Structure 1
Amino acid sequence: MTAANSWFLVITGYAILLAWPVSTLALVSFAVRYMASHRRVVVDRSLAKGDGTPEHFWIIVPALNEEVVVGNTVNAALALGGPGGTLARVLVVDDGSDDRTPDVLAAINHPRLMVLRRELPEARKGKGEALNAAYRYIAQITAEAGVRPDKVVIGIIDGDGQGSSNILLEVSRMMRDPQIGAVQVQVRIRNRNKLLGAVQDLEFGAIVNACQSLRDTIDTVGLGGNGQFTRLSALLALGDAPWSACLVEDLELGLRMHLDGVGIRYTPRATVTQQAVVDLRRLTRQRTRWAQGNLQCARYLRRLAASKRIGVTSLVEMFHYLVSPWINALVTVALLGGVLVGAAGLALGHPMPYLRSWQDLATSGEVWFAVTFFPGFIWALVHRYRLRDESLRRLLTAAVAYPVFLLLGLVATYRAIARQASGRQSWAKTERLAEEPISPAPMQVALAA
């Protein structure tokens, strides 16, 4: 290997390593400025474009063996109110539960609660199919009542989810712009008293929030599986089954809406909380499913590139979102492989041109260590500055654990590739944790249809 090639490898390696902290600082800088100004601009712009304010709200709760959490989720959803005193109807899709979920739901006697029970063989074909069944039910009721579908909003709150009290009001503010067909609210973690929960809340409350805020400015907001709100009219435009069998049906729905020219907004002013996965094995399984779903959505890259409705900046961000996990996995292997080869050369007395001594290896390790831990500490400070609902000590502890969390993500990416290549699609359900019960919602009656 020539000296020129050696220097090229060294420079390339350090450039790749430094790209992460540099991009983190850039994203943090944007997020702080966004919080200070852009949100007000977006809301003002929405208010100036006409009145598409929703008048009817449905909350769909997909439930498969959710006996320990579904009671709290339903009671919290029934307590939500929108503009002008409008109240949400709650439709629980019991997707063939064989635990006490039906009994828990039957014990909630409320006029705004409906339960759609799916039996085998129709049941248990994935969350997307359960959501489609609920959507068709709501569409039928809306049509029979003669209600305009653009005035009806359907929200998705998972079996362990609980929306903030202002969630419908904030969604309504964003949707006053008739061009906005969907809104994604911020996701937070409730059980963050444990380390894994604190790291996941650092991810959602700081990192994902900053990424979604950036996408909000360039019209590339992605929909999440929890806390997504869509106009019924936007779903009807996608046919009889807006949600697919993709393992991340929410990501695919967002891509289809962007291709259809539907405006999607993100708001950090309202939240939906969910439970963290506090078992490493189950967390790896969850992230593997997400990564495999991301891989499945890569088939949209060609359509995105050919679309005349998506600008160049938006297209670049979508490509980055879909492809970057796989690039990161390959680059990590390449960097680690280079280090191992260099170390082996030193041990055998044949040093590589880019790694001539053990001191060079130690220096590289120090740089790698600093680069790996730096972003987590920055995001911990952002979380503390922005949300102020968690101690700095706990956040810094989560920052220390964050690199291990990222390593778990890489493992999940490799597993996802193997599962996709072998055609495996089945998944075990994420286990829920029992919580203190929430008081039932008052017995008000919703507006018709």
Structure 2
Amino acid sequence: MANPAFAATMMLLLLWWPAHNLLLAAFAWRTGRPRRSVAERGEGLEFWIVIPALNEERVVGNTVRNALSLGTERNPVRVLVIDDGSDDGTPAVLREVTDPRLHVLRRELPHARKGKGEALNAGYRYILRLCEAEGSVARTIVGIIDGDGRGSPGMLREVADVFGDRGVGAVQCRVRIHNRRSVLALLQDLEFGAVADASQSLRDLAGSVGMGGNGQFTRLGVLRRFDPAPWSDCLVEDLELGLRLHVAGIRMRYVKSAWVTQQGLVDLRRLLRQRTRWAQGNLQCARHLRELLASRHVGSIGLLDFLAYLVTPWLTVPLSLVVSLLFVGTLVASWSGVTLGGLIAPPSALPGAALIGVAVLLVPGVVWAIVHRLRLGEEPLHRCLLAGLLYPGFLVLGVVATWRALFRVVARRNSWTKTERLSEEPPEKVSV
């Protein structure tokens, strides 16, 4: 007979994964579709949209035109492209855009290509100088959209309405994937548009909203508190900025009624490289744990959330080792009949245990597929279900990426090759 305490522990661990996802999905269902704001708050706020660009000739033209189209009479916009030493056709593409609201900051080597954070810092200093001369710092909002990003129609109105509350210092918009024709890209949209959206909505209530690289907006006056470099050299400089804002007591909100779409990666090798970089950045962000624990601005619920997503990457490697050992032990037990003193179920119980394990593994992805289909309504049900069934494999990719990231941290490797963009036909229609 299996050890009762061990069996109970394993059952709790087994049920935690689907239970967590089911509760999160239920919360997503309860929050429902994004509700458009009707309040005329945020009147007179001015926006700068910053687009960091390194060899973005395939996408930057569409991105700039989209960003310029987001401005309104109520909330005017200027766009700053930071050309971080591009050696492709990016400068030529930018010269084709003659709108006077477009500013291009060209950085040359050896100052260029020192990371996205440093490029953003250069853009921040450029905007600050202009706004100080104009006397517009207090009414200026700085937004970040990546070279492949597209803002949703009316995005600035939605963001401005939230900033109408003077207590709000930063806003993170929803993120989606716009090239969802491949299942791999649809999996990434399932992750961003459903799972991450639910998590961020819950964090919005808990006061622990996380910042993303695409669709983050911050008051220029708040960024000035971290002058001259609001962003760091961390590989996830966006997440780290959010942590620094929380430690400083800056209130942040999540807006699902405004979104930015980006290109999904359709090649496994490039996706693994991207996720390895993100995982390495998450490992680096653990250095802020002491500040978060000491901060009087971070509530207990928010602190638990920060602990969860800052510590989890460090636990992924040992936990994956434990799961692998249990799997190997189960295979050995099924072949030899040895139960290791009751720690492993006898062969006769393995078929039922395997069925339960498969169900536990697949249920969360299927649930998120249904949430995606019913709440967003853009993809056929069969494609959503296919993505949901493949979701566990997508998570395994994240585990592999974390292993690679840990090796890079140990080896003190911090350099990266930029992810190559897919070609686009101008003008591109944003499909969301």
TM-score normalised to the size of structure 1?
Answer: 0.91
Letter in 2 for 1:339: F
2:379 aligns to what SS in structure 1? Answer: coil
- The Cα shift of 1:285 comes to 0.6
1:355 aligns to what SS in structure 2? Answer: coil
Counterpart residue number, 1:445: none
- The Cα shift of 1:107 comes to 1.4
Counterpart residue number, 1:188: 176
Contact in 1 for aligned 2:280/2:408 (Cα 8 Å): yes
2:321 aligns to what SS in structure 1? Answer: helix
How far apart, in 2, do the equivalents of 1:54 and 1:328 lie?
A: 46
Mapped pair 1:398 → 2:395: no
1:188 aligns to what SS in structure 2? Answer: strand
- The Cα shift of 1:36 comes to 7.1
Counterpart residue number, 1:19: 16
Aligned residues: 428
Contact in 2 for aligned 1:185/1:228 (Cα 8 Å): yes
Mapped pair 1:203 → 2:200: no
Q: Which runs of 5+ in 2 are unaligned?
A: none
Letter in 2 for 1:77: A
Letter in 1 for 2:218: T
Mapped pair 1:306 → 2:306: no
- The Cα shift of 1:356 comes to 4.2
Mapped pair 1:68 → 2:58: yes
1:239 aligns to what SS in structure 2? Answer: coil
1:192 aligns to what SS in structure 2? Answer: coil
Contact in 2 for aligned 1:355/1:361 (Cα 8 Å): no
- The Cα shift of 1:252 comes to 0.2
How far apart, in 2, do the equivalents of 1:209 and 1:329 lie?
A: 26
- The Cα shift of 1:34 comes to 2.5
Percent identical across equivalent pairs? Answer: 51
How far apart, in 1, do the equivalents of 2:165 and 2:187 lie?
A: 35
Contact in 1 for aligned 2:173/2:215 (Cα 8 Å): yes
Contact in 2 for aligned 1:53/1:177 (Cα 8 Å): no
Distance 1:345 1:376, change over 3 A: closer
How far apart, in 2, do the equivalents of 1:435 and 1:297 lie?
A: 34
Mapped pair 1:426 → 2:415: yes
Distance 1:356 1:377, change over 3 A: closer
How far apart, in 2, do the equivalents of 1:67 and 1:375 lie?
A: 39
How far apart, in 2, do the equivalents of 1:356 and 1:316 lie?
A: 35
Letter in 2 for 1:404: G
1:265 aligns to what SS in structure 2? Answer: strand
Counterpart residue number, 1:221: 209
Q: Deviations for 1:287-322, whole angstroms, at most 9, x for unmatched residues? A: 010010000000111110111111111111111121
Counterpart residue number, 1:174: 162
Counterpart residue number, 2:117: 128
- The Cα shift of 1:239 comes to 1.7
1:62 aligns to what SS in structure 2? Answer: strand
- The Cα shift of 1:175 comes to 0.6
- The Cα shift of 1:282 comes to 0.6
Mapped pair 1:415 → 2:404: yes
Letter in 2 for 1:301: L
1:264 aligns to what SS in structure 2? Answer: strand
Mapped pair 1:94 → 2:83: yes
Match of 1:80 among 66, 70, 87: 70
- What is the alpha-carbon root mean square deviation over aligned residues? 2.0
1:182 aligns to what SS in structure 2? Answer: strand
Letter in 2 for 1:13: M
Mapped pair 1:344 → 2:332: yes
Letter in 2 for 1:335: V
Matches within 5 A, 1:137-156: 137-147=126-136, 149-156=137-144
Contact in 2 for aligned 1:81/1:165 (Cα 8 Å): no
How far apart, in 2, do the equivalents of 1:202 and 1:171 lie?
A: 23
Mapped pair 1:365 → 2:354: yes
Counterpart residue number, 2:32: 35
How far apart, in 1, do the equivalents of 2:245 and 2:94 lie?
A: 33
Distance 1:376 1:342, change over 3 A: closer
Counterpart residue number, 1:446: none
Q: Deviations for 1:318-341, whole angstroms, at most 9, x for unmatched residues? A: 111212233344323212212312
